[in-house]
Amino acid sequence: MLPKPFNNFIPKFFNRDTKLTAFSNKIDELLTSFESDTLGLNTFIDPFRCPLSVLTELGYLLNAGLKSNDTERQKRIKVATAVLGHKRRGSFEYDAKPKIDNIAGGDSQIFRATVSGDWILGGDGEVIPSGSYWGTMAGDASDDDLGLLLIGDGTELEVAGNIYIDVDNNSLNASQVQQIVDELQSDIVPAYFRVYIGYVNISGQFIIYDVID
């Protein structure tokens, strides 16, 4: 137990003048600080309770990817999710999603089409009639060869390697979008993949914020 108030532990034969009172108050101030630091040690392993200075060190030790423009809340979430993210590096659910939600504040999901054909690439309505199709067999009339005609520009949702991520926030500013891009671009987005960052509007359309390729 700390000797507080310190004045009670000074022998009675000392005069209680202003100098002794100031000395006693200073000792109490220091003891209170020591007590606070000591009792606060149990918070050091909790990323949501530890001091900010300790949080930075935890982020370094866990390779949590803390950045100078991260808010305190974002840093704490990064530290809290770092270990699981390392164990399942590159997965959407445990690595990419926590990083996106930490910035966008929503419930991000990988966007998948629900009303289009299974794998057809949409055309412009001139080569084949517009609409959804299961497949299109086509070829040159002067050629005996028939092939599978894929009509599109390669950015379609159905193309392997195109990943559309709905960040669940339609009001991100340019800085927030860039933060998400930086987080995913560092070591999450695989080579030869193209990732579209955006949101789904009330009409069900995917609105693109940015593309990582």
Look at residue 169 and tell me if it is in a domain.
no
Look at residue 19 and tell me if it is in a domain.
no
Cα Rg, the chain, nearest whole Å? 30
Residue of 77 and 10 predicted with greater confidence: 77
**Mean pLDDT across 54-78:** 88
DSSP-assigned letter for residue 163: E
Look at residue 177 and tell me if it is in a domain.
no
Look at residue 67 and tell me if it is in a domain.
yes
Look at residue 189 and tell me if it is in a domain.
no
pLDDT of residue 125: 46
**Mean pLDDT across 136-160:** 59
Q: Are strands 206-212 and 194-200 parallel, antiparallel or unpaired?
A: antiparallel
Other CB atoms within a 10 A radius of the CB of residue 164 amount to 20
Residue 157 CA to residue 40 CA, distance in Å, equals 51
Look at residue 44 and tell me if it is in a domain.
no
Residue type, 92: F
Q: What is the pLDDT of residues 23-38, one digit of tens each?
A: 888 888 888 877 766 6
What does the DSSP assignment read for 64-128? ----TT--HHHHHHHHHHHHHHHHTTT-IIIIIHHHHHHHH-S--EE---SSS-SSPPP--SSSS
Per-chain mean pLDDT for the chain: 79
Look at residue 64 and tell me if it is in a domain.
yes
Residue 18 CA to residue 121 CA, distance in Å, equals 87
Look at residue 75 and tell me if it is in a domain.
yes
pTM: 0.58
Query: Residue 52 — pLDDT band, cuts 50, 70, 90?
Result: confident
Boundaries of domain holding 57: 49-87
Residue of 114 and 208 predicted with greater confidence: 208
Give the highest mean pLDDT range of 3-7, 8-12, 133-137: 8-12
| Residues in contact with 33: Cβ distance below 8 Å, sequence separation at least 6, in sequence order | none
**Mean pLDDT across 63-73:** 87
Query: Residue 113 — pLDDT band, cuts 50, 70, 90?
Result: low
Residue 93 CA to residue 114 CA, distance in Å, equals 21
Residue type, 49: R
Number of structural domains, the chain? 1
Residue 213 CA to residue 72 CA, distance in Å, equals 30
Query: Residue 185 — pLDDT band, cuts 50, 70, 90?
Result: confident
**Mean pLDDT across 143-155:** 58
